[in-house]
Amino acid sequence: MTASIIDGKMLSAQIRAEIALETADFTAKTGVTPCLAAVLVGDDPGSQVYVRNKQKACEKAGITSQLHTPSAETSTEELLALIDRLNRDPAVHGVLVQLPLPEQIDERQVLEAVDPMKDVDAFHPENVGRLVQGRPRFLPCTPHGILQMLARNDIPTAGANVVVVGRSDIVGKPMAVLLMQRGGGGDATVTVCHSRTRDLAEVTRSADILIVAIGRPRFITAEMVKPGAVVIDVGMNRTPDGLAGDVDFQGVQQVAGRITPVPGGVGPMTVTMLLHNTLTAARLQTS
Are 94 and 160 part of one and the same domain? no
Distance CA 256, CA 218 (A): 15
**CB neighbours of residue 77 within 10 Å:** 10
Residue 167's Cβ-side half-sphere holds a number of Cα atoms within 13 Å equal to: 8
Residue 56's Cβ-side half-sphere holds a number of Cα atoms within 13 Å equal to: 8
Are 78 and 187 part of one and the same domain? no
Are 145 and 264 part of one and the same domain? yes
Q: Mean per-residue pLDDT for 106-135?
A: 97
* Residues annotated catalytic, as ranges: 54, 98, 121
Summarize pLDDT for 192-214 with one digit per residue, the tens: 999 999 999 999 999 999 999 99
Are 184 and 257 part of one and the same domain? yes
Domain housing 155: 141-268
Are 264 and 145 part of one and the same domain? yes
Summarize pLDDT for 246-265 with one digit per residue, the tens: 999 999 999 999 999 999 99
CB-based contact 191:162 (threshold 8 Å): yes
CATH number (domain holding residue 164): 3.40.50.720
Are 167 and 201 part of one and the same domain? yes
- pLDDT above 80: residue 44: no
Considering the entire predicted model, what is its pTM?
A: 0.95
pLDDT band at residue 136 under the 50/70/90 scheme: very high
Task: Please give the tally of structural domains in the chain.
Answer: 2
Summarize pLDDT for 232-244 with one digit per residue, the tens: 999 999 899 888 9
- At 276, the amino acid letter reads H
Are 145 and 97 part of one and the same domain? no
Summarize pLDDT for 162-185 with one digit per residue, the tens: 999 999 999 999 999 999 999 999
> Can you point out the beta strands (E) in the chain?
4-5, 35-39, 64-68, 94-97, 161-165, 189-193, 209-212, 230-233, 237-239, 242-244, 258-259
CATH number (domain holding residue 74): 3.40.50.10860
